[in-house]
Amino acid sequence: MMIKLSKPITIGDVEQLNLDLRLPTVEDVADIGYPFLVVTTDNGTAIQLQPKVVLKYAATLGGVPPSSLKGLSLGDLSKLQTAVMGFFGDEAETPQT
């Protein structure tokens, strides 16, 4: 999944405006964990995003050093959160026939 960034990230000496995320594997989930927590509140159940875990997924799935993501804009972090969370949504749970 190609994510277009609003601000380039630097990988080595190269600036990139795109981050191509591969699909996560079971091993990725075992190593990194889930990018969210399910919490119980007075109003019911809620999802709490885990930005540090999202950044670990972005680095792992994008094949980039974690240090290259430190300069992300908040908007780009939001794009990455949406992309990573999308891997754990209903579509990912739908069996293929």
More confident residue, 49 or 91: 49
What are residue 63's phi and psi, to 5 degrees? Answer: 65, 35
Share of the chain above pLDDT 70, in %: 92
Instruction: Give the C-alpha separation, 96 to 77, whole Å.
Output: 30
Confidence of residue 92 (pLDDT cuts 50, 70, 90): very low
Go through 52-81 and write b for each residue having 16 or more CB atoms within 10 A of its CB, e for each that does not. ebbbbbbbbbbebeeebbeebeeebeebbb
Mean pLDDT of 24-32: 97
Instruction: Give the C-alpha separation, 16 to 19, whole Å.
Output: 7
Closest Cα partner for 19 from 74, 59, 67, 73?
A: 59
Is pLDDT at 93 greater than 70 in this prediction? Answer: no
Give the tokens for residue 80.
């990455």
User: According to the model, what pLDDT value does residue 12 have?
Assistant: 87
Is pLDDT at 33 greater than 60 in this prediction? Answer: yes
Confidence of residue 91 (pLDDT cuts 50, 70, 90): low
